[in-house]
Amino acid sequence: MYLANENRYDHMIYRRCGASGLKLPAISLGLWHNFGSVNNQEDMKKILFTAFDNGITHFDLANNYGPVYGSAEQNFGMIMKTDLMPYRDEMVISTKAGYDMWKGPYGDHGSRKYLVASLDQSLKRLGFDYVDIFYHHRPDPETPIEETMLALDHLVRQGKALYVGISNYNREQTKKAYAVLKELKTPFIIHQPSYSMMNRWIEEDGLKDYLYDNGIGSIAFSPLQQGILTGKYLNGVPSDSRIGNHKSPYLHESDLDPAVLEKVRALNEVALERGQSLTQMALAWILRDDKITSVLIGASKPEQILENIKALENTTFSREELNCIDNIVMG
């Protein structure tokens, strides 16, 4: 039986999620990859135990994480039942719905029917009565935002989610969602956008400042640009990488053009001068101010978690370093 490290809270940084009472670890663990039916459960346990032993209390899922769809929730639920359930109240567990999950017109997007049914299914796979955060995973251009937000509010009032969030919404879409949820007094506390040194759309769109100004927390996914900002591709494509295994529909060898690799190589030099790995600097850069609540990492082995956590040892950047990074990325 797993026994958690008694000193698990000694070194993690926790940040308040917007204006809510909830705090999240500065580094959270996403189960998008490596927790599906194709993965080894003992490896999953090692990753989860290492994360929790080092103060990572937030675990992020979605209905269709796998493969196969639903298997990440199912595997996480099984490990919770056998090893982690005594620590359930020390954890923040989130899941989402909004992408395709089952066949037919009711298994995708943002209708009330889909969201309510999806969370019911997620709770069964997880073996929980509730999740801490339930997200709408992406905006639905065909469903009124009011319907989607009323569904999120309904699920909170049913006791199936403590808080709600949205993901992949731009600033204008977020404003519309916030207006509905604020009137309903729904605990809308978080937005999950993609964000990295090389992907700054939330700054350009004004979303980052909008969230901060309105007391909404934010958690960045793909902070390492699908692995590009780990530096693992500087000397070719490793056979055990997502590209090498053809496991990522979002990153292909064609994305690693010479211009991109030149930028990564230059960023790596800046990281070395700071005494960090490129991975650590990329995470630290996102966490350099308090406008971002947490960064969402993935891991295929426990050692990656330990390396990522070291980013918290130095999240301060000089003006010269920030200017240098900007010139490399945008030059």
CATH number, domain containing residue 36: 3.20.20.100
Number of domains the chain contains: 1
The answer for residues whose C-beta is within 8 angstroms of residue 93's C-beta and 6 or more apart is: 58, 59, 61, 76, 126, 128, 131, 132, 133
pLDDT tens per residue across span 144-183? 999 999 999 999 999 999 999 999 999 999 999 999 999 9
As a three-state string, the secondary structure of 166-224 is: EECCCHHHHHHHHHHHHHHCCCEEEEECECECCECHHHHCCHHHHHHHCCCEEEEECCC
Residue 7 lies in a domain: no
| pLDDT for residue 249 is more than 90 | no
Report residue 175 CA to chain centroid gap: 21
pLDDT tens per residue across span 29-41? 999 999 999 999 9
Domain residues for the domain of 183 are: 14-227+286-315
Residue 238 lies in a domain: no
In the prediction, which pLDDT does 231 show? 87
Residue 19 lies in a domain: yes
- The DSSP letter of residue 84 is I
Residue 163 lies in a domain: yes
State the pLDDT confidence band at 244, using cuts at 50, 70 and 90. Answer: very low
pLDDT tens per residue across span 195-243? 999 999 999 999 999 999 999 999 999 999 999 999 888 875 655 555 5
Residue 323 lies in a domain: no
Burial class for 122, CB neighbours closer than 10 Å (0-12, 13-18, 19+):
buried
Q: Compute the mean pLDDT over every residue in the chain, rounded to the nearest whole number.
A: 95
Question: What is the rounded distance in angstroms from the CA atom of residue 54 to the CA atom of residue 329?
Answer: 32
| pLDDT for residue 12 is more than 90 | yes
Residue 131 lies in a domain: yes
Residue 277 lies in a domain: no
Question: What is the rounded distance in angstroms from the CA atom of residue 173 to the CA atom of residue 155?
Answer: 21
Q: Yes or no: say if 231 and 268 are a contact pair by the CB < 8 Å rule.
A: yes
Question: What is the rounded distance in angstroms from the CA atom of residue 70 to the CA atom of residue 74?
Answer: 6
pTM (two decimals)? 0.94
CA dihedral 146, 147, 152, 156 (to 10 degrees): 100
pLDDT tens per residue across span 74-84? 999 999 999 99
Residue 237 lies in a domain: no
pLDDT tens per residue across span 130-144? 999 999 999 999 999
Strand (E) or helix (H) holding 118: helix 112-126
Q: Yes or no: say if 216 and 243 are a contact pair by the CB < 8 Å rule.
A: no
State the pLDDT confidence band at 254, using cuts at 50, 70 and 90. Answer: low
